[in-house]
Each structure stands twice: as C-alpha cells, then as structure tokens.
Structure 1
Amino acid sequence: MIKAVLFDNDGVLVDTEWFYNRRRAAYLETKGFVFDEIPDLSGTNDVYVWEYFEPDDPVRREELKQGYLPYMEAHPVPYDELMNRDARPVMEALQERGVKCAIASSGQIEMIQQLVDAAGLEDVLDLKLSAHDCGAFKPDPAVYLRAMELLGVEPEECLVVEDSPFGIEAGVRSGARTLALKPKEGVELDQSAADRVIDSLWDVLEELG
C-alpha cells in the first residue's frame, strides 16, 4: 500500500531546468566563458555544476559560485510561467486518499520554498527537504531515505517522482518504486532506469492501486 509520494522539484513540479541552464550560461559569459552551445546540466547539483565549469582551480570555482548568488537574485525564476499546473490538484487528490506528499530535492531549501509559495502548495505538503541538509546529493538516495524516515514510512510504501538520471538513480537506490515524468519536447533525458515513465503527474494516481 502506498502511503507517501516523494516529488523531485526541478523538472517535475516546475519546468526550470532549461531556465537554469540559460541563466547560468549568461552569467558565466560575463566572466569570460564562451559557449558554442549552452551546456545542459539538467538534474545535477551545485557541486557537480561548478566542478564542471572550473575543474582545476577550487578558489576560482568558489568565486564563480559566490558571484552567481547576486546574479540569481537579479534574474529570478518566473515560477508563475514555469510551474506544473497539475501539481496542486494531484497533491490534493493524494491527500484525500490519505497519502502523504513531500518534496525531496537537491536544490536549496530556499528555492524549494519559493516554488511552494508561488504554486500555493504549503497546505498540501507534509514535508519539504533539501539534499543540502542530508549530507549527500542525488544520485545518493540520502534525501529520499531521510524523507521516508521523517514521514514514518518504508521504501516499499513510497512512490518517487523524478525526471533526471541522477534523481531516478536516487529513487531506485532508496528502494521505492520510481516514476519518471516524461520531459517536454526537445529535452533529452535517459529515463530507462525508472520503473515507469509517465506522461503527467495524474498518472501517479494510477499507481495507488
């Protein structure tokens, strides 16, 4: 019996991956980077991202990372345009069936909260959790295992909803049945490790049995 659904944030509840890629590239261009093609780092995490752009110089890497913070504030995510409109009604339907809902993301808790506020999800969520507070990032399953612990559920009682290969691996390694939300047209993600690829969040309800 499914007692909880654990949702990834970016790419599942809000279509931010393409925005992050473009915003990050625009910032790095102000620092002298030149791109023939914008790097697609969808579904990764902060550590991976900054090591990708500056693999050899940790001091420079930290400078780039810290410099990006005010740039992000000056170029906020347009959540109203990018949020998945199915998120709230699906979570409402889950809670009506007694199923707990949580967000478990590699993003910082502040970014998770911004989406929650913009989408009006606060009252349909039982938990919001960032991997930054769990000691490891996806594909490590730490954030999902900690979420299960806090919710008082076992892996076999959970569904994980993801989109990226890192996230899918984390879900599978947690022991939960893992669903992959099909990306929008033009976005290529390897979702072959998921237990099932779904077309929309409404398909989550079919998994309840």
Structure 2
Amino acid sequence: MVRAVLFDMDGVLVDTEWFYNRRRCAYLEEHGFVFDEIPDLSGSNETAIWEFFVPDDPVRREELRLGYRDYQKAHPVPYGELLNQDTKPVMEELHGRGVLQAIASSSYRSLINELVEIADVANVLDYTVSGHECSAFKPDPEIYLRAMGQLGVEPGECLVIEDSPLGIEAGKRSGARVLALKPHEGVHLDQSGADMVIDSLWDILDELG
C-alpha cells in the first residue's frame, strides 16, 4: 500500500526545465558563448551544469556561476505561468486520502518555498527538502531517503514522481517505485529507467493500491 508520494519539483510540479535552459543560454550569450542550439540540461544539478559549459577553467566557471545568481534574480521564474495546473488538485486529493506528501528537489530552498506559496499547497504538504541541504545531489538517493525518514515510511510504501534520468535513478536507488511524468513539449528526457511513464499527475491515483 502506498503511504507517501514524493515529488520532484522542476518538470513535475512546474514546467521550468525549458525556461531554465533558455535563460541560462541567454546569460552565457552575454558573456561570449555562441549556441547553434540550446543544450538540454534538464534534470542536471548546478555543479554538473557549469562543468558542462566550462570544463577546463575552474576560475572562469566560478565567475560565471556567481554572476548567474544575479542574472536569475533579474530574470525570475514565472512560476504562476509555468505551474502544472494539476499540482494543487492532485495534492489535495492525495491529502484527502491520507497519503503523506513531500517535495524533494535539487532546487534551492527559496525556490521550493516560492513554488509552494504560489501553488498554495503548504497545507497538504508534510515535508520539503532541497538537494542543497543534502551531502550529495541526485542521482544519489539521499534526498529521497531523508524524506522517507522524516515521514516515517519505508521505500516500498512510496511513489517517487520524477521526470529526469538523474531523478529517476535517485528514486530507484532509494528503493521506491518511480513514476516519470512525460516531459513538456520540446524537452527530451530518457525516462526508460522509471517503472512507468505517466501522462498526468492524476495517473498517480491509479497507482495507490
């Protein structure tokens, strides 16, 4: 029986992956980068992303990474526009059925809190955790194991809802059953490692058992 559902955030609760890819490239273009096409780094973490763009110059890499923090503040995520409209009603339905819920995201704590506020789901969430509060990012399963520990559930009692290959691997390594939400149009992700690919968050309800 499923006692808890653990949600990734980006690409699951809010369709941000395509926005992140484009915003990042717009910033880098201002610093001399040229792109024939926008690299799709959906589901990756901050360290891996900047190593991808600047593999051989750690000083330059850090300068760009820190500069991007200010660029992000000047170009915030329009969460209200990108919010998955199924997020609140599905979470409310799960809460009504007594299912525990958590958000386990590689995003910063401030962004998780912002999404929770905009989606208006604080009253149905039992726990949230950021990858920046863990010792390792996905695909390490720590973030999901930590959420399970806080909720008092076993991996076999959990569904993990993910979209990216790294997140799917983290969920599987935690011992949970993993459902992959089909990505936003224009985002290409290998979801073959998931137990099932779902078209909508509503499909979670069919897997409660």
TM range (shorter): over 0.9
CA distance in 2, matches of 1:131, 1:80: 23
What is the TM-score normalised by the length of structure 1?
0.98
CA distance in 2, matches of 1:185, 1:22: 14
Counting matched residue pairs gives 209
Letter of the 2:94 partner, please give it.
Answer: L
Letter of the 2:203 partner, please give it.
Answer: D
What is the TM-score normalised by the length of structure 2?
0.98
Alignment of 1:49-128 (within 5 A): 49-128=49-128
- 1:183 corresponds to 2:183: yes
Letter of the 1:95 partner, please give it.
Answer: H
CA distance in 2, matches of 1:85, 1:144: 24
Q: Unpaired segments of 5 or more residues in structure 1?
A: none
CA distance in 1, matches of 2:44, 2:66: 18
How far residue 33 of structure 1 moved from its aligned partner, in angstroms, is: 0.8
1:25 aligns with 25
1:146 aligns with 146
- Kept in 1, the 8 Å contact 2:17–2:187? The answer is no
CA distance in 2, matches of 1:101, 1:150: 11
1:1-35 C-alpha deviation (Å, 9 max, x unpaired): 11110000000000000000000000011111111
How far residue 56 of structure 1 moved from its aligned partner, in angstroms, is: 1.1
Identity %: 70
1:27-66 C-alpha deviation (Å, 9 max, x unpaired): 0111111111111100000010011111111111111111
Q: What SS does the corresponding residue of 2:160 show, helix, strand or coil? A: strand
Structure 1 moving runs of 4+ over 2 Å: 184-187
1:64-101 C-alpha deviation (Å, 9 max, x unpaired): 11100110011011111100011111111111111111
The alignment's C-alpha RMSD in Å is 0.8
CA distance in 1, matches of 2:184, 2:70: 29
Q: What SS does the corresponding residue of 1:71 show, helix, strand or coil? A: helix
CA distance in 2, matches of 1:96, 1:71: 40
Which moved further from structure 2: 92-101 or 181-190?
A: 181-190
1:15 aligns with 15
Q: Unpaired segments of 5 or more residues in structure 2?
A: none
How far residue 186 of structure 1 moved from its aligned partner, in angstroms, is: 2.9
- 1:172 corresponds to 2:172: yes
Letter of the 2:14 partner, please give it.
Answer: V
Letter of the 2:169 partner, please give it.
Answer: E
Q: What SS does the corresponding residue of 1:115 show, helix, strand or coil? A: helix
